[in-house]
Chains A and B, each alone.
Chain A
Amino acid sequence: MNYTTILNNQTIPVADIPEVEYKEFMDLNTGFTLGSPERHCVNYFGYPVGNHIKLICCIADDSTHNIHVSSCLVNSSDTLDSFTFRHFCFEKFEREIHENFGIGYKDHPWLKPVRYANNRFDHSKTIANYPFYSIDSDELHEVAVGPIHAGVIEPGHFRFICNGEQILHLEIQLGYQHRGIEQQFLVRKKLLQRSTLAESIAGDTVVGHTTAYSHLWESLCGIEPSRDIEFARTLALEWERMANHTGDLSAVCTDIAYQLGSSVFGRLRTPLVNFMQEWCGNRLSKGLIRPGVNQFPLSPELAERIGQLFKAFEPDFVEMNQQLFQLPSALSRFERTGVVSYDDVLSIGTVGMAARMSGLNRDIRSSHPYSLYPEIAHDPIVKHHGDVYSRVQIRRQEVMQSMRYIRSLIEDVPQISEQEPMIGSPKPNSFVLSLVEGWRGEICHCAVTDKDGEFVLYKVKDPSFHNWLALALAVRNNEISDFPICNKSFNLSYSGHDL
């Protein structure tokens, strides 16, 4: 066997991952993904081992619920054949490896920088001398947006090449706020510090990232979390999905200048985030999820509050959606705007909502279930047109679905376990991978420990990592004035990408 097979949240000794020659490594992993839409690369990264770079590639198989892990040892001075040449979904991983370790690729189409990281290999490359893709033409014009966002949210540079109102090409350059999160996981040794770090990977996916981190840590320490802990996590994940989707529906309405939808959905989001404040003292669920401990057990009183809240929420949400999806002027903005085809999402390897919008069924809740999802038997919502309408529909239906899940969850609130907080010690020389379906899509955390059980690598992959490219493809041949609505219908994370 030239690879090993693990399950979601399974810890294995690093030595169990077979190390193969690069040629075989490439054949193996591209062979897994080529022509098999049910398999995709969840993470592919490198880390230094002695004087070499060890590459680890993890391919998830949605139909068998397995993850195939293989590895390879290369030198940073090597110039290799690229995976990307065979299958495009590896392009961003290889760009990152090139950027961090200086490994060259012979036939990679575009080794565009991922982030302007301080730990990058070649310090002479800066954003100031980055050559943006440009076109020499008198008829076309370029529109540069950013890197400072007009609403001063997060930084990102968007460069459009337009023919009048029509976008021919969009180049997105991110990485302006690289904080070195992965590096910080190695430096900060305390459990609380690391939990706080996981919470700040992306401010709107606090539950998603903290759950991934907690699962990873628990697996590494051999802790079996009690049912009430997993109950709280499952509920919080679905709650986060509801709150963010409702907020996004409001934002999409704002972008098409539909005031009624914008204000009603905005109002509906508020009680959702306020409930989190009631539950754990923070509207963004910070502090709710910690490895091995249930900080804020969901009491039967809170479960009752959820019931009341839904009673007020559901009729308004349903009615507003009926209004929105019957409004001709809104539909004319949604339909056939920002289309990404099935072939495109497959080849760039998008995850989560950005895959399900075009008929690619990727949902970790059903393919690699964790927490209480095996009991829920999740049925992913898949649309086929890949346009703004599909993305908005997915949001609407996922809110209703999450509401159903939460309702069935709170029918049976588990007893709060009286056990002491479990703090184990991490296994030495181990590899662990944790997948969670956040509200945007698949979140993947990987870690490798040394002989003392300390992290030598902590790798975070936010769903936005791949999905930004889907946005760049979506706006092609659309009007430039439709860019904001395309952007909002994806609602991707800058900080999750920049780390």
Chain B
Amino acid sequence: MLSLILILIASLFFTGIIFRVKSIASGRKGPGLFQPVKDVWRLFKKGSVYSETTSFVFQIAPVIYFSSVIMAILVVPFGSTKGIISFDGDFIFFAYVLALGKFFSIISAMDTGSSFEGMGASREALYSMFAEPAFFILMGSFALLTGYTSFLEIFSTLHLGSYITYALGIMATFVLVMIAMIENSRMPIDDPKTHLELTMVHEVMILDNSGFDLGLILSSGYLKFAMYGTLIADLYIGGLSMAYAIPVFLLTQVAFAVSVGLIESFMARFRMSHNPQFIFALSSVSLLIFLGVLLVLGKFV
């Protein structure tokens, strides 16, 4: 329960911080921290427009996408505090319930029949596919290290004690940050601010969505960011008491948002053909974590 509340709170300001950092970095004052939330609220009060060429898939997809994110959030614990649900192998559930939402957003993009949206959908599918091994090797390694297979048990028994485990923690943070960037289609993989359909990944898939549906999709994005931020914080707060854990959590979220904003301000987007290489390289970092775990466990012969 605690994790759900904290994720909701973090999601309120997360995107606002990114926008604000980008504004300040480019010498502007920028919108208020809660502007993204106000935008979504405005969208929620509007009706949706549907193209005549779309079918029911296009209409149900935003809801499924949104609920898939909510369901994934339910299994995310807060340190050693349980999420709403927890069971053995729930990190697999987490990954595939998100994939289900993504699947619907992809087929709804294809449903519009637009050549742009088809391109965006194929890019999104490719990148998610490449990001998947990184996540599973990472979580599998932690499962091996701790001997458990649920988020809660993994995070509550994960202790960062030796130099090697510190290295593992840093690498795991990097992998999770990058997966969050890929899943949320942020820089350097995708440029969320672009006005150019031909270079978009995620933005082009939702070109036809409007009003309430668009509000759902945008708020899923905010929630997803906060959710990955929580997973990153979980790496560190497993053994801490509540009085420390909550400030560390908030600090992690803010640091995450600020770093996203800084990356987006001071670097250019990757060339599209470099994206798969980059994403696949994440799997290698995950493999390093796996080797590190083997080293810690003394399983190297």
Answer whether residue A416 sits at the interface, using C-beta atoms and an 8 A cutoff. Answer: no
Q: Scoring B residues 25 to 60 as 1 if CB is less than 8 Å from chain A, else 0, what string do you get? A: 111100000000000000000000000000000000
Chain A residue with the shortest CB-CB distance to B266 = A260
Answer whether residue A479 sits at the interface, using C-beta atoms and an 8 A cutoff. Answer: yes
Answer whether residue B146 sits at the interface, using C-beta atoms and an 8 A cutoff. Answer: no
Q: How far is the CB of B258 from chain A (nearest CB, A)?
A: 15
Chain B residue with the shortest CB-CB distance to A483 = B198
CA–CA, A151 to B27, complex, Å?
A: 25
Answer whether residue A126 sits at the interface, using C-beta atoms and an 8 A cutoff. Answer: no
Q: Which residues of B contact A481 (CB under 8 A)?
A: 198-199, 271-272
Contact A327 to B267, CB < 8 A, known contacts A141-B115, A150-B197 = yes
Chain B residue with the shortest CB-CB distance to A267 = B27
Q: Scoring A residues 121 to 147 as 1 if CB is less than 8 Å from chain B, else 0, what string do you get? A: 000000000000000000001111100
Contact A143 to B196, CB < 8 A, known contacts A260-B26, A482-B272 = no
Q: Which of B116, B268, B273 has the most chain A CB atoms inside 10 A of its CB?
A: B268
Q: How far is the CB of A146 from chain B (nearest CB, A)?
A: 11
Say whether B198 contacts A480, CB under 8 Å. yes
A residues 208-255 with Cβ under 8 Å of B? 253-255
CA–CA, A332 to B273, complex, Å?
A: 11
Answer whether residue B269 sits at the interface, using C-beta atoms and an 8 A cutoff. Answer: yes
Chain A residue with the shortest CB-CB distance to B188 = A329
Contact A259 to B264, CB < 8 A, known contacts A143-B116, A481-B198, A481-B199 = yes
- Residue in contact with A329 in the complex, picked from B22, B118, B269, CB distance below 8 Å: B269
Answer whether residue A263 sits at the interface, using C-beta atoms and an 8 A cutoff. Answer: yes
Range of interface residues on B (Cβ < 8 Å): 20 to 34
Contact A145 to B27, CB < 8 A, known contacts A259-B265, A479-B271, A480-B119 = no
Answer whether residue A111 sits at the interface, using C-beta atoms and an 8 A cutoff. Answer: no
Answer whether residue B284 sits at the interface, using C-beta atoms and an 8 A cutoff. Answer: no
Q: How far is the CB of A61 from chain B (nearest CB, A)?
A: 41
CA–CA, A262 to B267, complex, Å?
A: 11
CA–CA, A264 to B187, complex, Å?
A: 20
Say whether A333 contacts B268, CB under 8 Å. yes
Q: Which residues of A contact B187 (CB under 8 A)?
A: 257
Answer whether residue A409 sits at the interface, using C-beta atoms and an 8 A cutoff. Answer: no
Q: Which residues of B contact A262 (CB under 8 A)?
A: 26
Say whether A142 contacts B266, CB under 8 Å. no
Q: Scoring B residues 239 to 266 as 1 if CB is less than 8 Å from chain A, else 0, what string do you get? A: 0000000000000000000000000111
B residues 143-201 with Cβ under 8 Å of A? 187-188, 191, 193-199
Q: How far is the CB of B122 from chain A (nearest CB, A)?
A: 8
CA–CA, A332 to B115, complex, Å?
A: 27
Say whether A257 contacts B268, CB under 8 Å. yes
- Residue in contact with B191 in the complex, picked from A141, A257, A330, A332, CB distance below 8 Å: A257
Q: Which residues of A contact B25 (CB under 8 A)?
A: 259-260
Answer whether residue B274 sits at the interface, using C-beta atoms and an 8 A cutoff. Answer: yes
Q: Scoring A residues 460 to 499 as 1 if CB is less than 8 Å from chain B, else 0, what string do you get? A: 0000000000000000000111111000000000000000
Say whether B271 contacts A165, CB under 8 Å. no
Q: How far is the CB of B139 from chain A (nearest CB, A)?
A: 30
Identify whether the interface residues of B are mostly helix, strand, loop, or mixed: loop
Chain B residue with the shortest CB-CB distance to A259 = B265
Q: Which residues of A contact B271 (CB under 8 A)?
A: 332-333, 337, 479, 481-482
Chain B residue with the shortest CB-CB distance to A151 = B195
Q: Which residues of B contact A480 (CB under 8 A)?
A: 119, 198
Q: Which residues of A contact B268 (CB under 8 A)?
A: 253, 256-258, 327, 329-330, 332-333
Chain B residue with the shortest CB-CB distance to A167 = B198
Q: Which of A145, A259, A263, A484 has the most chain B CB atoms inside 10 A of its CB?
A: A259
Answer whether residue B270 sits at the interface, using C-beta atoms and an 8 A cutoff. Answer: yes
A residues 139-170 with Cβ under 8 Å of B? 141-145, 150-151, 165
Range of interface residues on A (Cβ < 8 Å): 20 to 34
Say whether A145 contacts B195, CB under 8 Å. no
Say whether B194 contacts A257, CB under 8 Å. yes
CA–CA, A116 to B111, complex, Å?
A: 34
Q: Which residues of B contact A482 (CB under 8 A)?
A: 199, 271-272
Chain B residue with the shortest CB-CB distance to A488 = B196
Q: How far is the CB of A335 from chain B (nearest CB, A)?
A: 10
Contact A143 to B269, CB < 8 A, known contacts A259-B25, A481-B199, A484-B196 = no
Q: Which residues of B contact A479 (CB under 8 A)?
A: 271-273
Q: Which residues of B contact A144 (CB under 8 A)?
A: 115
Q: Which residues of B contact A145 (CB under 8 A)?
A: 197-198
Q: Which of A145, A253, A337 has the most chain B CB atoms inside 10 A of its CB?
A: A145
Q: Which residues of A contact B197 (CB under 8 A)?
A: 145, 150
A residues 363-413 with Cβ under 8 Å of B? none
- Residue in contact with A255 in the complex, picked from B28, B116, B196, B266, CB distance below 8 Å: B196
CA–CA, A150 to B199, complex, Å?
A: 13
Contact A259 to B115, CB < 8 A, known contacts A479-B271, A481-B198 = no
CA–CA, A267 to B28, complex, Å?
A: 11
Say whether B28 contacts A263, CB under 8 Å. yes
Chain A residue with the shortest CB-CB distance to B28 = A263
Q: Which residues of B contact A258 (CB under 8 A)?
A: 267-268
Chain A residue with the shortest CB-CB distance to B118 = A141
CA–CA, A267 to B27, complex, Å?
A: 10
CA–CA, A332 to B265, complex, Å?
A: 17
- Residue in contact with B269 in the complex, picked from A141, A256, A260, A483, CB distance below 8 Å: A256
Q: How far is the CB of B206 from chain A (nearest CB, A)?
A: 15
Q: How far is the CB of A153 from chain B (nearest CB, A)?
A: 11
Q: Which residues of B contact A256 (CB under 8 A)?
A: 268-269
Q: How far is the CB of B68 from chain A (nearest CB, A)?
A: 27
Q: Scoring A residues 309 to 343 as 1 if CB is less than 8 Å from chain B, else 0, what string do you get? A: 00000000000000000010110110001000000
Q: How far is the CB of A452 from chain B (nearest CB, A)?
A: 51
Q: Which residues of B contact A151 (CB under 8 A)?
A: 195
Chain B residue with the shortest CB-CB distance to A329 = B268
CA–CA, A150 to B272, complex, Å?
A: 21
Say whether A263 contacts B196, CB under 8 Å. no
CA–CA, A482 to B194, complex, Å?
A: 13
- Residue in contact with B265 in the complex, picked from A143, A150, A260, CB distance below 8 Å: A260
Say whether A142 contacts B115, CB under 8 Å. yes
Chain B residue with the shortest CB-CB distance to A261 = B268
* A-B CB proximity, top 8 nearest: A257-B191, A263-B26, A257-B269, A258-B268, A256-B268, A329-B268, A481-B272, A484-B196
Instruction: Enumerate 30 A-B pairs (CB-CB under 8 Å) in ascending A order.
Output: A141-B118, A150-B196, A150-B197, A151-B195, A165-B273, A254-B194, A255-B196, A256-B269, A257-B264, A257-B269, A259-B25, A259-B26, A259-B193, A260-B26, A260-B266, A262-B26, A264-B26, A329-B188, A329-B268, A329-B270, A330-B268, A332-B268, A332-B271, A337-B271, A479-B272, A479-B273, A481-B198, A481-B199, A482-B199, A484-B196
Known: A165-B119, A165-B272, A332-B270. 17 other contacts (CB 8 A): A143-B198, A145-B197, A145-B198, A150-B195, A253-B268, A255-B196, A255-B199, A257-B191, A259-B22, A259-B193, A260-B25, A329-B188, A329-B269, A332-B268, A479-B273, A481-B198, A482-B271
